[in-house]
């Protein structure tokens, strides 16, 4: 499903002293099959934007089309849309509620596919748990509150992907995880991408995460899309990012330091590529070295 937003605006608490304009005209297109990153400061409107995508925040200004659904129409089929656009909120492990993992994961299925048979449901839950790396036989009948934090987050993600949404949106999916946990989670998302969910959108302010994982990204600033393109295109503009109070990935910082010393490294800012390019430079193979200025 292609996502097209044109001139999206949104105001929280309109007509009160607390009124804040969260979106001031967002134009953005996310193609099917992308692993899309959304970057921005707190209050840049990124969360408000992604919540528009499955109509958790109803459209009030501008146009938004998600696949065949036109969200400016009053009679948009909300339930159908939400089954196709899955949303994993920040710290999703705090939204678990059922007495067993099985019931919690099946919650979405029961809501979206009324009258689904018990066998079908069991098969779907088993599959979803397997995708997130949990064993059905081990965890299905346990209480979600007995599990560890990382396992709980996996259960919560399973509860969203169990309906096989075409688009999966994750708000800061790696927040609060240690580096290893982060890597495991990103690997998990890559394994979901393509087979389970065609499009993945992650909201993050970890630039390394974006540089490593995303095919394309957009930078939100003050309710607008300030930059949009591949991570290479975005992180090449380190100064503009700095002006918006945003960081660049570690690799970009290193590249800047090398640049200052007269070495130009053409990298896509992923770790492996950067190390390879620097090694090539060191061995004098890549031909990327320029004379010191």
Partner 1 sequence: MLNDVTFGQYYPTKSFVHNMDPRAKLLLLIAYIVAIFIANNFFGLILVTFSLLLFILLARVPFGRVLRSIKMILFLIIFTAILNLLFYAGGEGDIVLAEWWIITISWQSIINTIFLAMRLLLLVLGTAILTLTTTPVALTDGIESLLKPLKYIKVPVHELALVMSIALRFIPTLMEETNRIVSAQKARGANFETGGIFRRAKAMIPVLIPLLVSAFRRAEDLGDAMDARCYSGAKGRTKYKKLTFTWRDLLGVLFFAAFIAGIVLLNTYFGSRFDIIWQFREWFGI
Torsion region of 54: left, alpha or beta (phi above 0 gives left; psi -120 to 50 gives alpha): alpha
83 binds partner 1 (CB under 8 A): yes
Q: How far apart are CA 200 and CA 88, in angstroms?
A: 11
The residue written with tokens 């159908």 in the block is 80
Stretch 17-56: interaction string toward partner 1, x if CB under 8 A: x---------------------------------x--x-x
Distance in Å, CB of 281 to partner 1, minimum: 47
The DSSP string of 36-58 is EEEEE-TTSSHHHHHHHHTTSS-
Of the candidate residues 68, 73, 77, 97, the single one contacting partner 1 (CB under 8 A): 97
251 binds partner 1 (CB under 8 A): no
Q: Could you give the C-alpha distances from 233 to 81, 227, 248, 257, in angstroms and in order?
A: 32, 9, 12, 18
132 binds partner 1 (CB under 8 A): no
CA-wise closest residue to 190 among 205, 182, 200, 181: 200
Q: Near partner 1 by CB under 8 A, which window of 88-96, 131-139, 227-235, 245-253?
A: 88-96
Q: Which residues does 192 contact at the CB level (< 8 Å), separation at least 6?
A: 131, 161, 168, 200
153 binds partner 1 (CB under 8 A): no
Q: Near partner 1 by CB under 8 A, which window of 93-101, 120-128, 210-218, 267-275?
A: 93-101
Of the candidate residues 40, 45, 159, 223, the single one contacting partner 1 (CB under 8 A): 159
Distance in Å, CB of 163 to partner 1, minimum: 8
Stretch 110-129: interaction string toward partner 1, x if CB under 8 A: xxx-----------------
Of the candidate residues 73, 135, 138, 145, the single one contacting partner 1 (CB under 8 A): 145
3 binds partner 1 (CB under 8 A): no
Q: Could you give the C-alpha distances from 16 to 11, 13, 21, 42, 236, in angstroms and in order?
A: 11, 6, 12, 22, 41
In terms of C-beta density within 10 A (0-12 exposed, 13-18 middle, 19 or more buried), how is residue 13 classed? exposed
Q: Is 243 helix (H, G, I), strand (E, B) or coil?
A: helix
Pair 220, 40: CB distance under 8 Å:
yes
| Residues contacting partner 1: total by CB under 8 A | 27
The residue written with tokens 């989670």 in the block is 185
Distance in Å, CB of 93 to partner 1, minimum: 9
259 binds partner 1 (CB under 8 A): no
Distance in Å, CB of 56 to partner 1, minimum: 5
Residues that bind partner 1 (CB under 8 A): 13, 17, 51, 54, 56, 79, 82-83, 86-87, 89-90, 92, 94-98, 107-108, 110-112, 145, 159-160, 163
């Amino acid at each position: 499903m292609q996502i097209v937003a044109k001139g999206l605006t949104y105001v929280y608490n309109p007509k009160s002293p607390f009124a804040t304009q969260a979106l001031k005209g967002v134009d953005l297109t996310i193609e099917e099959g992308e692993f899309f990153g959304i970057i921005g400061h707190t209050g840049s409107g990124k969360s408000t934007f992604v919540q528009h995508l499955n109509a958790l925040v109803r459209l009030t200004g501008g146009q938004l089309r998600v696949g065949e659904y036109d969200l400016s129409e009053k009679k948009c089929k909300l339930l159908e849309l939400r089954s196709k656009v899955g949303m994993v909120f920040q710290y999703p492990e705090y939204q678990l509620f059922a007495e067993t993992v099985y019931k919690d994961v099946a919650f979405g299925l029961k809501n979206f596919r009324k009258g689904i048979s018990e066998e079908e449901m069991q098969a779907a839950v088993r599959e979803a748990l397997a995708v997130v790396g949990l064993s059905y036989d081990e965890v299905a009948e346990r209480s979600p509150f007995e599990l560890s934090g990382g396992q709980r987050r996996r259960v919560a993600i399973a509860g969203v992907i169990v309906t096989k949404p075409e688009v999966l949106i994750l708000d800061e999916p790696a927040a609060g995880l240690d580096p290893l946990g982060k890597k495991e989670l990103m690997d998990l998302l890559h394994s979901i991408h393509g087979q389970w969910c065609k499009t993945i959108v992650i909201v993050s302010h970890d630039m390394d995460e974006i540089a490593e994982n995303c095919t394309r990204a957009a930078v939100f600033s003050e309710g607008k899309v300030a930059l949009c393109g591949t991570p290479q295109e975005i992180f090449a503009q380190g100064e503009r990012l700095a002006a918006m109070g945003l960081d660049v990935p570690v690799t970009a910082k290193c590249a800047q330091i090398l640049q200052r010393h007269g070495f130009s490294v053409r990298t896509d800012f992923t770790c492996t590529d950067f190390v390879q390019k620097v090694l090539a430079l060191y061995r004098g193979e890549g031909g990327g070295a320029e004379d010191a200025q």
